[in-house]
Amino acid sequence: MSRLIVISNRVSVPTAEQPGAQGGLAVALTAALREADGIWFGWSGETGETGDLKFETYDGVTSATIDLPEQDVEEYYDGYANRTLWPLFHYRLGLTEFERDFQGGYERVNRVFGEVIGPHILPDDLIWVHDYHMIPLGWVLRQRGLTNRLGFFLHIPWPPTRLLTALPEHRRLVEALFAYDVVGFQTDEWLETFHDYVVREMGGSIGEDGHITVGGRTIRAIACPIGIDAQEFIASASSPGAMATHARMVESSIGRSLIVGVDRLDYSKGLEERFNGYQRYLETRPDAHSNVYLLQVAPPSRGTVQSYQDIRAQLDALSGRINGAFADIDWVPLRYVNQGFPRDVLAGVYRAARIGLVTPLRDGMNLVAKEYVAAQDPENPGVLILSQFAGAAAQLDGALLVNPYSPDDIADAIERALLMSREERIARWKPMFQNVRDQDVVWWRKRFTDSLMNA
């Protein structure tokens, strides 16, 4: 049996210090690594001179990490990955920074990864590279002479051709993907935009069963939507911790309907637009004020990047204005919390919420939407309000789809969700739940690795 080699920017395997610090993606990949005696390679998250890989094995899973010099972190991670590719791939050209040093650092770090990891790869290993930080890595490994099956999965959207061509050396970036045997995208939409670029800019041709040919190289590109660890999350919604949290939320709500949003603090998540939509609801439905409140959980991220500092300041100010304008002596319309919570606590909050409000401006998938669905009480489920620009919208068609840029659209959806009958809520929830349960993170992992094995 071939070993599975996973390579990503950061490593999420369990350790002795953090045995349970894993999300659904890490759970699925570590299970596969355990079965295949594999290794997860990545950056340690620490700065320092890049030396030998640091190996650690815990609970049958091996990780191998390297440190990166401060300049590499600035140019590769804070720079090209998060100030160039991330905003561009999320359709935010105005926030995209084009710096030649960023690109140089990005390619340099990918070469370092290839040089450090390459000697540890055996001839029949199956190699799976993850996300936008590592696009050139397959090309680096091929240059080192590796002939292994190489797969790449993009967790974020793929931008339209005209947007991508704003990127200096854009063709160089896309050509690197043709070093892989299988390239995976979250949705058919992102796959189709990739096809469009290949045909228009590279003169490629699209064949059957996802095969794409450019020059003498043919790869397979597939849509492979990621899921959550559904069984675990469904079980966690009935755990003691979740039940205690549910009881706390019901008690603190005092009969009011809870709307919940849970997002990393990021401009792609549409938090400012969400607050504006909620404000429009409050402005246009004064009789409903004391019957509803919004809980927004938004742990900070990428605090060294200026655009993330700006969005935090904007949300701090906007949440204060909303509460200042609408709060009463016994009611606060918006609870805004800048910290994260354990999965069982979130499951309890989701179950207590009449509405899950998920309004990204652009998102590769959005697993919060799937977690909200998984956590619901089958006899009395809440309503998912979901941005039409989230990848999850293609699967969760029982949600109320909204244009997150329109405050009126969000406000109307909130009113409709609050007035929706129990029978309609159940009818909408059931097929979404079946999709979340059946196309979970294990299904996603097997679909991709099976495609790669057959490449």
> What confidence tens digit (pLDDT) does each residue in 353-406 have?
999 999 999 999 999 999 999 999 999 999 999 999 999 999 999 999 999 999
For residue 425, the Cα-to-chain-centroid distance in whole angstroms is 26
For residue 423, the Cα-to-chain-centroid distance in whole angstroms is 31
Section 114-137 average pLDDT: 96
Do the beta carbons of residue 166 and residue 91 sit within 8 Å? no
In sequence order, what E strands does 246-310 have? 257-262, 292-297
> What confidence tens digit (pLDDT) does each residue in 224-279 have?
999 999 998 999 999 999 999 999 999 999 999 999 999 999 999 999 999 999 99
> What confidence tens digit (pLDDT) does each residue in 154-199 have?
999 999 999 999 999 999 999 999 999 999 999 999 999 999 999 9
The CB density around residue 154, as the number of other CB atoms within 10 Å, is 21
In sequence order, what E strands does 230-301 have? 257-262, 292-297
Catalytic residue positions? 155, 363
Looking at residue 137, what is its pLDDT? 98
Please name the residues in contact with 172: beta carbons below 8 A apart, sequence gap of 6 or more.
none
What 3-state class would DSSP assign to 141? helix
CA separation for the pair 246, 238 (Å, rounded):
10
DSSP-assigned letter for residue 155: -
